[in-house]
Chains A and B, each alone.
Chain A
């Protein structure tokens, strides 16, 4: 694996500071699973097992919650620490991730199948920046003083919620870990985090860095395991105050239900999408083709924000299809450690099968398969970059989240029509508009029911900006200042005053 790193011409450290861990991380220590169970994690480019990992289940979750609860007690080191010190620890963590950047990027590519250069330049950058951004907020979480009626003085404190359960997905394991830990720790919470069973490795390495950075024991606990066992245990735990989940809408609903049924823990959800990308005739054509391509194919199509419905205005439709197909045919698929590969495998055989099944439905339901459609290699879980044109809104490929390298192109006539069709989904995560006309840009972005609307770009995400879904794409927002709201509990303190002074 390090040969790949050298061949990218990067000057990197050849040995990471910590060894790879396959254990459960509780109280800054590595534990075996209570049940003795282990599970395997695979390299999706080859189908081969990387290693076995201790499998957390309910009993391990209980242990972790106990540790997190203890670390959150009123007289604990974590609770008594200056807010600015919490920030310092997060900065230190960012520095350590930066130190071990090449190793983490390699591990991430090995476990997920994403191209190494993507891991290094996108995932690792996003991870480091997110930790630094939230480090800066730690001592800037302000409450208010409020002019209430009557002889009272009122102030609010924005306190940490408590023990936060966090369940992260397999498509951006490290970045999603940073999106979860950053705000949670900045606000003073303690965490029980479950990485996806497909991709536990980089998350576990973060455990080693958390300890090295100096976070007190129990502040962050990492439990690799499965959704129906460890994940469900978190969602319905009576000792967890809040759960944050990123994953499918289907599972998001289960989590919210469990939260309601158990202890009304606070819930934030980042779920699926079927994001529309609207290309007007007056758009910068080259830009639109490339952005629409990257918008759906990035990360092997495995993005919640994937721009998987591309609405193209009639006058430019034919040319747009032609150029998109040409681009898709040029997309290089191969080993994630090959620096010329733009696309790697899907994360698992299950995902690969699902994508191929949806492609089949497209063909069956009458969309025109322009290119791709098959699994190109016998080893690994690859799917060819696939383009469908003449897609009708009722088709499965136009309605269901595919989560694979499959692009749908549809035609539209008028602005009112396309807005309605774009909004005609229970999802609402992201959307994009390509146009050079100011009015169109403002009008369409205001009308779209999506948490993020991109104008003349796609997947332009930055930790300073809130991100989240309308409708069934989620509840709440992550990132930005607003992201802090989800990790604080507001306490109002009202004091009786002996005489009113304004």
Chain B
């Protein structure tokens, strides 16, 4: 039987509450997985770092080093860019290939991820601290589905013909941008890897991708699968390393045509500035959020509690979509709070590799300290601590799921992105008031509305300044639907058909003829 509180990991890569759909035995983590790939991946080969540097990657649940990984710096990034440039030039195998053949390769990679699913989920769990079952059912599912979704797009990237004036024929081609740099975070390492490479490769680009220094392992394992799938050398290059060195090298590289970054707003701003200062490379950013949930009195309250909790505590609160502000209509506030606290206290904390666990450690000491500092500020600024608010005794980087009530909008916990398992619950009276309060932030990534009323659902979702608005659900993400931020939560959109626009460069070709064509 499934003991996990955050029960079903649904087929579509979201967590839905309720019982697991299938009754087959739960997948098991691989015991003592062999870490085969710890080097820099360029031209389908494994390289040591040019400067001879290595860095350790740690299991946050135990504090123990997993292994050392070769550390890429500027020189390695240069090598990778050279490889990517060569692989993507006119006449190369990658450029000459039928578009549909690119799709076959992406499908093959998805098949290989399926084959290696348990290993990858184990590595991901060890490297990030997320529960193994979450990694297996959410991260791996989303990764595979994203690949298959974009595999289907490759030969459907259409330009247009258009009726221009006089004796000209005009049509557009949607060409690859070129060499795409990608810098991805540590909270969903493999999933973010796929969100970046899938659309990039679908559109015919080549890639230089830097996984986060905290979590390089699944990216490197995927390098081996990319080679096995048959991608030509240099199409995908993986440069594990640190932001200020390898990341900055990508952001300001003169020979990278586009950079896609997912991470904090602060670093996103640096990347955008570097892109401008160097060669005006195209930029897409997926940044932070301070995402509001709005619970109306006419909602299904039990469901609203479950969904908002999921929103706040999933992945130990380490999600850009974290629902760290919950506005509850006055009439149901006390009941909502009571149910939330009761639920939060029952969240199963433990070894991420154990099937019962739905709450693991924070990623590292730095994050851990930052979260507890913000919790302290909450107490200091006068919010009421309902549960949690401290580290789990004798348990390294684990923090108890924490709920604050009586939170005021000016408090730090109500304004700053916490990136930890901390939920702030506030009270509201009217729809107009709560919309203003929800929108009163520089962020604008996601939001949610809980109500049974059709009018309210439509008008509130229309009014919220957020790239994704969920109605009566949370974290319902799909490869087919666009995702991205308003305001300082980002620039551009990932996923869906929309991502393709970020990975193509439009060329208009205009032919002059000796006389007008019949239109």
Whether a CB of chain B sits under 8 angstroms from the CB of A378 is no
* Count of inter-chain pairs, beta carbons less than 8 A: 73
Q: Is B517 an interface residue (CB 8 A)?
A: yes
Taking the nearest CB of chain A, how far is it from the CB of B349, in angstroms? 33
Q: Collect the chain B residues with CB atoms within 8 Å of residue A135's CB.
A: 152
Asked if A442 contacts B517 (CB within 8 A), the reply is yes
Are A84 and B148 in contact, CB atoms less than 8 angstroms apart? Answer: yes
**Interface size, B (range):** 20 to 34
- Is B103 interfacial (CB-CB < 8 Å)? yes
A37: CB under 8 A from chain B? no
Distance (whole angstroms) from the CB of A298 to the closest CB of chain B: 22
B303 at the interface (CB under 8 A from A): no
Chain B interface, DSSP helix/strand/loop, else mixed: helix
Q: Which residues of A contact B103 (CB under 8 A)?
A: 132, 136
B152 — which chain A residues lie within 8 A by C-beta? 87, 135-140
Among residues 149 to 205 in chain B, which have CB atoms less than 8 Å away from a CB atom of chain A? 149, 151-156, 158, 169
Q: Are B458 and A497 in contact (CB under 8 A)?
A: yes
Question: Which of B11, B12, B156 is the one whose CB lies under 8 Å from A140?
Answer: B156
- Which residues on the B side are within 8 Å of A443 (C-beta)? 513, 515, 517
Q: Is the CB of A464 within 8 A of B100?
A: yes
A495 touches B454 (CB 8 A): yes
Which A residues from 85 to 137 make CB contacts under 8 A with B? 87-88, 91, 129, 132-133, 135-137
Is B365's CB within 8 Å of the partner chain A? no
Contact yes or no, B455 A498, CB < 8 A = yes
Contact B459 A481 (CB under 8 A): no
Q: With A and B bound together, what is the CA distance between A82 and B517 in angstroms? A: 45
A447 to chain B: closest residue by CB: B518
A393–B200 Cα distance when bound, in Å, is: 53
CA distance A135 to B149 in the complex (A): 10
Q: Beyond A82-B12, A498-B459, is A140–B480 a contact (Cβ under 8 Å)?
A: yes
Tell me, yes or no, whether B145 is within 8 Å of chain A by CB.
yes
A364 within 8 A of B: no
Chain B residues lying within 8 Å of A497, measured Cβ to Cβ, are: 455, 458-459, 462
| Interchain CB contact under 8 A, B458 and A442 | no
- How many chain A residues touch B (CB < 8 A): the figure is 30
Q: How far is the CB of A179 from chain B (nearest CB, A)?
A: 16
Q: Are A132 and B100 in contact (CB under 8 A)?
A: yes
Contact B107 A91 (CB under 8 A): yes
Query: Is A481 a contact partner of B158 (Cβ separation < 8 A)?
Result: yes
Q: Is A446 an interface residue (CB 8 A)?
A: yes
- Which A residues have a C-beta under 8 Å from some C-beta of B? 82-84, 87-88, 91, 129, 132-133, 135-140, 142, 153, 438-439, 442-443, 446-447, 464, 481, 495, 497-499, 501
Between-chain CB contacts (< 8 Å), 16 pairs: A84-B145, A84-B148, A87-B152, A129-B100, A132-B100, A132-B104, A140-B156, A140-B497, A439-B514, A442-B517, A464-B99, A464-B100, A497-B455, A497-B458, A501-B459, A501-B462
When A and B form their complex, which 6 residue pairs have the shortest distance between CB atoms, in order from nearest? A136-B152, A501-B462, A446-B517, A498-B455, A464-B155, A139-B480
Given contacts A136-B153, A481-B158, 20 further A-B contacts (CB under 8 A): A84-B479, A132-B103, A132-B104, A135-B152, A136-B103, A136-B152, A136-B155, A136-B156, A137-B156, A139-B479, A140-B152, A140-B480, A140-B497, A438-B511, A439-B514, A464-B99, A464-B156, A497-B459, A498-B459, A501-B462
